Amino acid sequence: MKKTSTRLADGRELIYYDLRDDTVRGAPDRRPPARTVTTSGIRRDVLLGDAVAVASHRQGRTYHPPADECPLCPSRDGRLSEIPDPSYDVVVFENRFPSLAGDSGRCEVVCFTSDHDASFADLSEEQARLVLDAWTDRTAELSHLPSVEQVFCFENRGPEIGVTLGHPHGQIYAYPFTTPRTALMLRSLAAHKEATGGENLFDAVLERELADERVVLEGEHWVTFVPYAAHWPYEVHLYPRRRVPDLLALDEAARAEFPRVYLELLRRFDRIFGKADSPTPYIAAWHQAPFGALEEFDGVTRDDFALHVEVFTIRRTSGKLKFLAGSESGMSVFINDVPPERAAERLREVAGS
C-alpha cells in the first residue's frame, strides 16, 4: 500500500491509498478555494447521560446529485470533484459537511473505488484489503488527535438508509467521547467480569454463538453469526476468533482472510430478498475500543473489548422496511419480526446462489 497525503483547495486533508507503490499523485485541486463553515457542537442530555451533535451547516450538504455531478467520482473530462486525480484506488478526505469538527471531533469520507456504479460487494479481495488497511491507518492517525476518544468506521448503503450520494463510500467518525452504545458494552463487560471472577463477556458470547444454530459462515480467523437477541430482521456480527480491541491489533493472518469472508457476507445480503429487491440497503459498523480512559468502567481495560463488525439491513421482507416506531424510537425496545434462527438459515441458503 502506498499512502499520499495532500490538501484540497479549501485546506481539507485528502489521502490516496494505492495498490501500486509506484503510483504518483500530484494533481492539484483546481476548484476556487471555498470558505468552509462548520457549526458543529456537542450538547449533553442530562437525563439520559448521552450526547447530541448539533450541526446546522449540514442542511446545505449535497443531496442526490445526478451521476455526472457526483462529487466522489474522480476529476476528469473537464469536471472537477472532491478528488483531483482522474482515477484512484481508495481515497479518504475530510468531510465538507462534518457532523463533528474541531474540538468536537472529526468526520472523514472513505471512497472505496472510483467506479460510481459499483458497491463494496463488487470489490476484488485485493481492493477490499486496501480498504481495511485504510480504515486501520485512519484509526491510528485519528486516535492521536487530542480531541478524539473513539474512532468509528462505517458504511451506510442505499437511499432507504438515508444515503444522499450514490457512489460507493463509507465514513469515519472520530468522537470526543465514548459513544453510548460502547459504554453499554463496557458496563456489561465490567459487571460480567466481576460476577464471574474475571471471565470475558465477549469470549463467552462468541463461544455460545459458535455452539448454536445461528452461525452463518466461518473462516480460520473470522466467524459470522446472527446474534441471539438480534435487533434487526437480518443482522450479522463478524468477529475475529482471536479477541483484539481494535483494527490496529489484527494480525496479518486475520487481515489476509478478512476480504474473502466479508465480501461473501455482503454478497449474501444482496441475495436475501431476490433480484427485485437488490441491492439490499444496509449499515456496516465497526466497533472498536475507545482510546480514552476507562476508569468509570471498573476493572475493564481496552484489551477486554472485542473488535467486531455489525452488518444489518432495515428491510424485513420483500418490499417492506423495518421502521423504528413507538417502542423502538420512544423506549429503545426493539421488536424483531424475523426470528434470528430463521435469519441465519436464510443467509446460509443464499450462499453462492
Give the mean pLDDT of the chain: 95
DSSP secondary structure of 289-300: --SS--TTSTT-
Mean pLDDT confidence for 224-245: 98
Is residue 62 very low, low, confident or very high in pLDDT (cuts 50, 70, 90)? confident
Residue 42 confidence (pLDDT)? 94
* 258 pLDDT higher than 80: yes
Is residue 275 very low, low, confident or very high in pLDDT (cuts 50, 70, 90)? confident
| Among 140, 125, 124, residue whose Cα is nearest residue 257 | 125
Q: Report the SS3 class of residue 272.
A: coil
Q: Which helix (H) or strand (E) holds 321?
A: strand 320-321
* 353 pLDDT higher than 80: no
Give me the percent of the chain exceeding a pLDDT of 90. Answer: 89
Residue 63 confidence (pLDDT)? 75
Mean pLDDT confidence for 240-263: 98
* 278 pLDDT higher than 90: no
Peptide bond between residue 339 and the one before it cis (omega within 30 degrees of 0): no
Residue 34 confidence (pLDDT)? 76
DSSP secondary structure of 173-201: EEESS--HHHHHHHHHHHHHHHHHTS--H
Q: How far apart are CA 69 and CA 280, in angstroms?
A: 24
Residue 33 confidence (pLDDT)? 86
What positions carry a catalytic annotation? 169
**In the Cβ-directed half-sphere of 110, how many Cα atoms lie within 13 Å?**
25
Q: Report the SS3 class of residue 92.
A: strand
Q: How far apart are CA 337 and CA 237, in angstroms?
A: 18
Region label for 209, one of left (φ > 0), alpha (ψ between -120 and 50) or beta (otherwise): alpha
